[in-house]
Structures are given as structure tokens and as C-alpha cells.
């Protein structure tokens, strides 16, 4: 009975990998304010109950204040600057890729060039379409998946890098990107990242959180025996992340979900983009456009 009640109260769309830290902090502060107010008016028992109920709601649902998921992102979007780091390219973001940290003179391959190279090398293969006699989608590009042999190579490289410290990952990134790119580590709050910066003011900047750095560095290393062009190998990490089946950090299965966080405003009538996440590690590996 209790288990079923808890399951009905859960809101997976706003917990786990989908939990919005700023929204959680805001709700904790508001619950604490209510409790303090009740203590001031000599209602300690009610205050204790408010704390327990609020904490349970935040844990199970992601928020205690009603309509937080609807109102929070819009309020955050109106704040001056970028308090939550969603629009700062130097802040670790799942959209940042290894190839972004280049100097201004480096010519990056286009998305079509990367996909073509991956297909020609046999790194990715088309998923056979179901033969249902309907050819209305004949001009639609087929979905792709990793070739089994490359998946094994990539997984082996991720196994080698998983337990390396952040400095070791930064050193590997430096070897892959060359002397024109400055590589450093970054530790802010709960986030560890490898940061790559071009040698000119107009050069690119990439900031890869540890799990994404492991995935992309492992991909670049695994591709060395498949593709000769180093620019393609670096640029392929981000699109290949969209095809991950398991988490590079914990090896659990990844899941595709939809969520909005503070600062990510979804227009009325539209749904948030799908995201590839690890619910156990609270890591977003890719956002599908």
C-alpha cells in the first residue's frame, strides 16, 4: 500500500537525471522559510511536519511548491546575466564537444562530412527499415547505429579511461588536440571538467564534464584505427555520443527523456527536446534537436 502510494507521488520527469538543481535549492529555501515562520509563531510541531512533508515532496517529485516546473524556467530566463550557466560557453555543457576547443585557424569538418566519413569507414551503419510496402519516407535519411566492432573498440577505450584522474584526462586531450590548444582542468561545485581553449581570442572553447570527456576522448582514440583524418576523429565524438547505449561512468543503460531546467524555456505548445541521460549518474550525454 505504502509502496504504491509512493510510486503515484513520484515525478521521474523532475528527479534523478532530470532534477533541476536551482529549482531544488529554491524549494528547500522556501520550505525552510515556512518552517522558520511557524517556529516564530510558536508552532514547532507544525514546523516539523512542514519540513518533513516538504523534504519528501522535493525528494519524490523534484519540488514542493506547486507549478515550479512551469514557472521556474520562465522566471530564470528573466534574470539578468546567466546565473545558472546555461548560456555560458565556458561552463561545462552536454552540447560542448572535443572539437570545439580549437584555434581560430582550424577548419572544422561539417556535420555531413563527419557522418559521411563515419559511414564510409564502417563506424556507423544504417538501421534496416521495416519492409512494410510503404515508400512514402524513401527520401528520409535512415537511422544509424554503431557497428558492433567499433562499439567494442569504443567500450574498451572507455574502460581504460574511466578511472583516470582529471589531470590525466586533460593530458590525453592535449595529446589529441596538439600544441595550439591549451588544456586545463576545472572544478566548480559538483562538476569536474576538462577545458580546451584555442590560442587566439577568436579560437574555440570546449568544456567537457568528466563523463563526457571519457566518452569523447575514448571515441577519438578508438577511431585512430578506423579514420585517418584527426579533425574528423575529434569532431565525431559529439554525434557518436548520441548513439551511446550505456553510461561511460557507471555502465548502466542510458535512457531518453524530456525535461526543462531553469533557463531552458520551452515555447508554449511545444515539448522540451529529448535528452540522452544516465538516471543513476544524473548526467546528460546528448540533446536531440
Are 123 and 53 members of one domain?
A: no
* Residue 196 bridge partners (DSSP): 183, 206
Q: Which range of residues forms the domain containing residue 50?
A: 2-77
- In the block, which residue shows the cell 527536446? 273
In a domain, 262, yes or no: no
pTM comes to 0.66
Q: Please check whether residues 23 and 162 belong to one and the same domain.
A: no
Residue 221 counted as domain residue: yes
Residue 64 domain flag: yes
41-58 per-position pLDDT tens digit: 989 999 999 999 999 888
Task: Produce one character per residue of 69-95: b if its CB has 16 or more CB atoms within 10 Å, e if not.
Answer: beebbeebeeeeeeebbbeeeebbbbe
DSSP state of 130: P
- Stretch (H or E) spanning 276: strand 274-278
The pLDDT tens digits for 215-235 are: 999 999 999 999 999 999 999
Q: Which of 249, 265, 252 is nearest to 213 (CA)?
A: 249
Tens digit of each residue's pLDDT (9 = 90 or more) over 177-211: 877 788 899 887 667 889 888 765 445 778 899 99
On whether both 108 and 218 belong to a single domain, the answer is yes
Residues 148 and 217 in one domain: yes
Distance (Å, rounded) from C-alpha 282 to C-alpha 259? Answer: 13
59 and 158 housed in the same domain: no
DSSP assignment of 228-247 equals --HHHHHHTHHHHHTT--B-
Radius of gyration of the chain (CA): 22
| 3-state secondary structure (DSSP) of residue 217 | helix
Counted domains in the chain: 2
**Is 99 a member of any domain?**
yes
Amino acid at each position: 500500500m505504502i509502496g504504491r502510494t509512493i510510486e503515484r507521488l513520484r515525478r521521474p520527469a523532475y528527479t534523478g537525471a532530470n532534477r533541476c538543481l536551482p529549482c531544488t535549492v529554491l524549494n528547500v529555501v522556501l520550505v525552510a522559510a515556512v518552517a522558520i515562520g511557524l517556529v516564530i509563531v510558536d508552532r514547532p510541531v507544525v514546523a516539523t511536519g512542514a519540513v518533513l512533508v516538504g523534504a519528501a515532496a522535493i525528494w519524490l517529485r523534484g519540488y514542493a511548491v506547486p507549478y515550479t516546473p512551469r514557472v521556474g524556467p520562465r522566471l530564470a530566463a528573466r534574470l539578468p546575466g546567466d546565473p545558472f550557466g546555461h548560456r555560458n560557453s565556458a561552463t561545462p555543457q552536454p552540447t560542448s564537444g572535443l572539437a570545439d576547443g580549437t584555434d581560430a585557424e582550424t577548419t572544422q569538418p561539417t556535420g555531413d562530412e563527419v557522418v559521411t566519413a563515419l559511414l564510409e569507414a564502417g563506424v556507423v551503419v544504417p538501421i534496416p527499415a521495416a519492409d512494410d510496402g510503404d515508400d512514402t519516407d524513401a527520401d528520409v535519411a535512415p537511422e544509424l547505429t554503431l557497428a558492433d566492432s567499433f562499439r567494442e573498440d569504443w567500450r574498451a577505450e572507455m574502460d581504460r579511461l574511466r578511472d583516470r584522474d582529471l589531470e590525466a584526462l586533460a593530458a590525453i586531450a592535449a595529446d589529441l588536440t596538439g600544441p595550439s590548444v591549451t588544456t586545463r582542468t576545472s572544478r566548480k561545485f559538483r562538476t569536474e571538467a576538462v577545458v580546451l581553449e584555442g590560442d587566439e581570442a577568436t579560437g574555440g572553447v570546449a568544456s567537457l564534464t568528466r563523463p563526457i570527456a571519457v566518452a569523447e576522448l575514448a571515441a577519438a582514440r578508438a577511431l585512430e584505427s578506423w579514420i585517418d583524418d584527426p579533425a574528423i576523429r575529434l569532431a565525431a565524438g559529439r554525434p557518436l555520443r548520441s548513439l551511446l547505449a550505456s553510461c561511460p561512468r557507471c555502465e548502466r543503460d542510458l535512457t531518453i527523456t524530456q525535461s526543462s531546467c531553469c533557463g531552458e524555456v520551452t515555447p508554449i505548445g511545444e515539448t522540451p527536446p529529448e535528452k540522452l541521460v544516465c538516471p543513476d549518474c544524473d548526467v546528460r550525454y546528448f540533446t536531440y534537436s
